[in-house]
Amino acid sequence: KSGAGTIVNIGGLSAHTGAKNRAHVVTAKAGIVGFTRALANDLADDGITVNCVVPGLIGTPRPKDKPEPSHHMTHQTITGQRGTPDDVAAAVRFLCGPGARYVNGQAIHVNGGAYLGV
């Protein structure tokens, strides 16, 4: 009704890098990126932008009895640190704000340089 809007999907780094024994996750995350691009095309005429934030390894609290998944332990960043939920939230905030009016159909990586692809 307003003639404008924003949709931000949350994807996953494995859609772009792959992951051993995680075909189910890689497929689902790649589907989110494809869905984002399709919706961006479908909704552009309505003034709605659609983008995807793709977090890398994000540090979140874990119960002591739940060890970190092994595929996280091998993950490297060029910054040498993990991201935080606030890092992901900042990307979402940007995409929802006026500075992102010309950003549409994109996968925005928040991963400390773990993925440097195109």
Q: What is the pLDDT of residues 39-95, one digit of tens each?
A: 999 999 999 999 999 998 887 777 878 776 655 555 677 888 888 999 999 999 999
pLDDT at residue 67 in the model:
73
User: Is residue 100 domain-resident?
Assistant: yes
Arithmetic mean of pLDDT, 104-111: 96
Q: Which residue has the tokens 């996953």?
A: 12
Is the residue at 118 inside a domain?
A: no
User: How many domains does the chain divide into?
Assistant: 1
First to last CA, the chain: 35
Q: What pLDDT, on a 0 to 100 scale, did the predictor assign at position 74?
A: 54
Q: Mean pLDDT of all residues in the chain?
A: 89
CATH number of the CATH domain containing 28: 3.40.50.720
User: Is 117 among the domain residues?
Assistant: no
- Torsion angle, alpha carbons of 7, 83, 54, 66, to 10: -100
pLDDT tops 60 at residue 113? yes
DSSP label of 74: T
Give the model's confidence band at 18: pLDDT under 50 very low, under 70 low, under 90 confident, else very high: confident
Using an 8 Å Cβ cutoff, are 42 and 97 in contact?
Answer: no
Which residue type does 59 have?
G
Task: Determine the structural domain holding residue 73 and report its residue range.
Answer: 5-110
pTM equals 0.85
